[in-house]
Each structure stands twice: as structure tokens, then as C-alpha cells.
Amino acid sequence: MNNRKHTFGEWMIAVRPWSFPASAMPVITATAYLFWKGAEIDWLLAIWALVNIVIFHAAGNTWSDYFDFRKKVDADDTFGAKTLTTGMFTEKEIFRLSLILTIIAAAGGVGLLLMTGLPLLWIGLGGMFCTLLYPFLKFNALGDLVILMAYAFLPTIGTSFVATGAIEWSVLLIALPLGLITDGILHSNNTRDTHTDKRAGIKTMAMALGAKASALLYGFEVLFPFVWVGVLSIIGFFPLTTIIIFLTLVVAIGCAQTMMKSLNGDLRIIADLDVRTANLQLMFSALFTIALIAAKFI
């Protein structure tokens, strides 16, 4: 049993902060969109919402790692998180960390609820259920849907309510492209891990679709957001400045091409595609945010 004290760096490895842009950027970009739209924003509550969803994300990461290890999805020969498979942490430590983070996030959510209103309760409960049920849903080919809800639709709707006091449904126009690229992170991960996931007895979306359909779906997830933003900027739903996101198109094309190359059966080709997709999501959403803010002053 591992009873040694852990360093700060090890705790950071356990919560995987490099994944946080996947949850943080939809909140940031949605806030920028509301700012461009001329909404009156409570910046303190907006920042509170941002911090809270990042804590929820950390809880979700550790919760997922705990169940992946128990289900033997993560093992010595897999690409998954190494915090448990290497013995850095014990199951009990990761479970306790996840529980503490969930309680902190829930407390923060209750605070926001008291500061705003009842609609946030249902949004928050949706996020909580997505976090707690994610391992089960992921093991039954529904993980991709959960990611869209937890890291796109719910955060942007919640941000609009927290920051402005009312739900601005048009933030879903922002949620879709960001959410699809975020889904690509999970989908590339699951495609890479098809063989080891099958050994563990689970069924992901990538396994259900098969290799060719999975590759095509991934291509859609990383390329369609450019079509979406391009068309909506032309017809006036987004400012024309948002076409700056096309600077990342070459990265998206490169990611899609890499996925297609994996159809030869060598999944090692996409070993780091989840990381590359995460970088694409960060660059895409950062440029999107900058473009929305810039449009306010042009």
C-alpha cells in the first residue's frame, strides 16, 4: 500500500490540468460572445462559473481514472492515465481526491445557485450527473454524447444564466463547434484504445462504429466547426472577425489525415492524436474568443 506523501506535481498529474481547456474554453468563449452581443455581464459570477467547471472537470478526470482502473480499461500496456497503473497513487487516494473535488464543486455550484436562481439547479444537476455517470455511459458507447452535454451545451447555457441572469439560447451556436472538437479528443482516444477496450469488456462509440466510420466521424468533428463558423459569420450570426479561426484549419486537416492513416491497422499512428486534438481545441476557441472581443471594439 502506498502511504507516502505526494508532491504538488504528482497531485497535478492526478487531475490532468492540461485537459482543462476542454471545459474552460466554452465558458470563456461564451462569455466573450455575450460581451459582443452587448449583454450586461456580472464578471465576478462569470469567473466563479469558470473556476467551478474546472473543478468539476478535475473531479471527472479522477472519477474516470478510478473506474477505468477498476474495470481494467487502464493497464500497464495501455495509453491511459498512469497515476494508478504505475502505483503513483492507490485506488483509495484517487477515489478520495475525486470525492473531495466533487464536494467542492457542488458547494461552489450551490453558492452560484443562491446568487442567481433556480434554473441553475437543473443545469448544475445535469453537469453533476454527467460527471458521476460518465464511466458507465462511456463503457456503453454514450461517452461522446456526455462530453457534448458536459463540456459544451450545459456550460455555455449555464454561463449565460450566471453571467447575465437570463438564458441566452444562442450561445448554443458557440457550443456546437467547440463541443465537436472536444468530442474529437475523446473519440481519437477511444479509437486508439479499441483493442484494449475490447479486452476490458467495454463498448465505446469507436468500437460500435468500426474503424472506417470512426475515422470519418473524427474528421467531421474537427472539420465541420470551420464550416459552421464560416457560414454563421457570413450570414451575420457571428462577426466577420471570427473567420480568424481558419488559421487553425491546417492543424485540423493534419489531425484528420493522421486518423485516416490509422485505417491501415497501425493504431500507434494516433498515439498522441488526443493531445493534438486538445491543442486544436485550445487554439480554435482562443482565436474565436479573441475575434469576438475584437469585434466589440471595431
Using the predicted structure, report yes or no on whether residue 277 has a pLDDT greater than 90: yes
pLDDT band at residue 44 under the 50/70/90 scheme: very high
**Which of 34, 67, 19 minimizes the C-alpha distance to 173?**
34
Confidence (pLDDT) at 9: 83
Q: Are 61 and 19 in contact (CB under 8 A)?
A: yes
- Strand positions, DSSP E, the chain: none
Using the predicted structure, report yes or no on whether residue 1 has a pLDDT greater than 50: no
Using the predicted structure, report yes or no on whether residue 80 has a pLDDT greater than 70: no
Least confident of 48-52, 60-64, 113-117: 60-64
Confidence (pLDDT) at 181: 96
Confidence (pLDDT) at 14: 85
Confidence (pLDDT) at 67: 80
Return the C-alpha cell found at 265: 491497422
Using the predicted structure, report yes or no on whether residue 242 has a pLDDT greater than 80: yes
Q: Are 173 and 238 in contact (CB under 8 A)?
A: yes
Average pLDDT over residues 109-138: 86
Q: Are 260 and 215 in contact (CB under 8 A)?
A: yes
**Which of 153, 270, 275, 176 minimizes the C-alpha distance to 214?**
270
Average pLDDT over residues 254-275: 91
Confidence (pLDDT) at 11: 84
Strand partners, 203: 140
pLDDT band at residue 3 under the 50/70/90 scheme: low
Average pLDDT over residues 33-48: 95
User: What is the crossing angle of helices 8-15 and 43-70, to 10°?
Assistant: 90
Using the predicted structure, report yes or no on whether residue 43 has a pLDDT greater than 70: yes
